[in-house]
Structure 1
């Protein structure tokens, strides 16, 4: 688990399938990350659990520390085809604009650079996702390259451990 002042991050599991489907059913949420059927959610969550087991990291459910309510997801995802570890975040619309994405991502970056010793973390942001670009830039990411992820054009941003505000220390 990763803790911040307001949030608790825990590994996602198959038990989160109904919530995952609900999160991605909102058209404003899924316009950049897509919708999931229950079967697709189960398969994606199994892949996340496998990544946790094999790599020691993966995506997390983001809960409000005060209530336990799951408000989003944030974490690290290994992309074999790019040879990169990506940070990603997605939050339920009622929780937008409260700084949760930046807070959760900052904690994940501290963990990734410090505890896991990663040298670079990328953020693959689909074109038009201005809110995620703002979060990435606030965290110190800079543009690395244009690319295509899951058939959609994106810009890959990167942050090297040496440029991370905490200097990669846990």
Structure 2
């Protein structure tokens, strides 16, 4: 019996990146990112088993919500450079954006480029009225990404018992 599901995960393209579905062979780099204390300082590091659960959960959001996370692939090299998401948290009607760039690609504008593409997708394709990003107060690089794509600080909130900053942008 075939248990395969056909879901359509849109591919997005920027000048340097292809935003594509997760593949099982993406997991090694994903896990390395989450298991590295420097890379995951603002996310909270994870062991391999937890990284696998997060990886599968992010991929599975597409089935449950029709929204989720993309792997970021460098168009020239085919190398995986991070991930970016447009998704809904449990019991939230506001789409959230998230981004992670793998350590070797920090400071190269990858997160800015990917986040801008996903913001455009949220507003122009999904027709969302507003989007938010939840960013740890000490995560200056993610704060700068949010501001570069036109998001503004909204409020301080709590996420899993941790104080976090909410950035918001409304559709224009």
TM-score w.r.t. structure 2 length? 0.88
CA distance in 2, matches of 1:118, 1:31: 30
**Structure 2 residue ranges without an equivalent (≥5):** 1-10
More helix by share: 1
Equivalent of residue 62 in structure 1, options 72, 96, 99: 72
SS at 2:77's partner residue?
A: coil
Q: Which residue of 2 aligns with 1:153?
A: 163
Question: Does residue 7 in structure 1 map to residue 17 in structure 2?
Answer: yes
Residue 27 of structure 1 is matched in structure 2 by: 37
Which of 29, 51, 57 is 1:41 aligned to? Answer: 51
Indicate yes or no: 2:130 matched with 1:117. no
Q: Which residue of 2 aligns with 1:168?
A: none
> 4+ runs of 1 displaced by more than 4 Å?
none
Is the contact made by 1:127 and 1:155 (CA closer than 8 Å) also made in structure 2? yes
Task: Give the Cα–Cα distance (whole angstroms) in 2 for the partners of residues 85 and 16 of structure 1.
Answer: 25
| Counterpart residue number, 2:86 | 76
Number of matched residues? 162
C-alpha RMSD of matched pairs (Å)? 1.5
- Note closer, same or farther for the CA distance 1:125–1:73 as it changes in structure 2 (3 Å cut): same
Q: What is the Cα deviation at residue 14 of structure 1?
A: 4.5
Provide Cα deviations, 1:72-91, integer angstroms capped at 9, x if missing partner.
11111211244322101111
Pair 80,118 (structure 1): closer, same or farther in 2 beyond 3 Å: same
Higher RCO (C-alpha under 8 Å, 6+ residues apart): 1
Superimposed CA distance per residue, residues 113-161 of structure 1 (whole angstroms, 9 cap, x where no aligned partner): 1111111110100011111111111111011111111222111000111
TM-score, length-scaled by structure 1: 0.88
